[in-house]
Amino acid sequence: MAFDYSIDFNNTDFRKNPEKYRVGRGEQGVLLVEPYKSEILEHWRFKTPEIAKESSEKIYQMFLDYKKEDDFVGMDMARKFLQMGYTRSRRYANYKGGKKYDEDGNINEREIDKEKAKSAEIFEEKWIKAREDEEYLAKKKTHQKEYG
C-alpha cells in the first residue's frame, strides 16, 4: 500500500495513533511522522565515516528500543532514517555537493568521494540489519494486514 499523504501530519501523533500510519515505499514520510521524526532526526548525520558510525549506531539502537517497546511505527521510522542515511551518503559520494542535476536538468558527472562512500557503507550495514530483522518483518506484516 502507498504512503497516505492525505493525513493531517501537523496534528497527528503516530505513537498515540499507530493505526493511521502506512509503511509506504522506501523512505516515504520519513520527515513527516511525529514524534518519531523529531526523536530520530537530531541523531541523523553522515558527513564523515566517524559521524556516520556514531549516527547509525544511535539510530539502530533506537530501532532496538522501539522493538522492545513493541512500537512498530518507531521501528519503521528508524529503518527509514537508516535507509536515508545510506541513500543521501551515496548521493553525496557520487556527486559533488550532492547535486545530481545541474540547473538545466542534466545529470552532473560523477565524482566519487571515498569518505562519503564509506559513510554510505556504514549506514547500509545497519539498514540491512533493521530491514531483515525477523520481528520487524512480522510486525510490518501484521501492521499492513490490520491497517493497510
Q: In the chain, what are the domain boundaries?
A: 47-97+110-148
Beta strands in the chain (DSSP E): none
1 — pLDDT class (breaks 50, 70, 90): low
pLDDT (0 to 100) of residue 3: 80
State what percent of residues in the chain have pLDDT above 70.
99
Helices assigned H by DSSP within 42-133: 49-68, 72-94, 114-131
Gap between the Cα atoms of 49 and 4, Å rounded: 34
Q: Comparing C-alpha atoms, which of 65, 6, 77, 85 is closest to residue 37?
A: 77
| Whether pTM exceeds 0.85 | yes
pLDDT (0 to 100) of residue 73: 98
148 — pLDDT class (breaks 50, 70, 90): confident
Residue 83 CB burial class (10 angstroms; 0-12, 13-18, ≥19):
buried
The whole-chain average pLDDT of the chain stands at 95
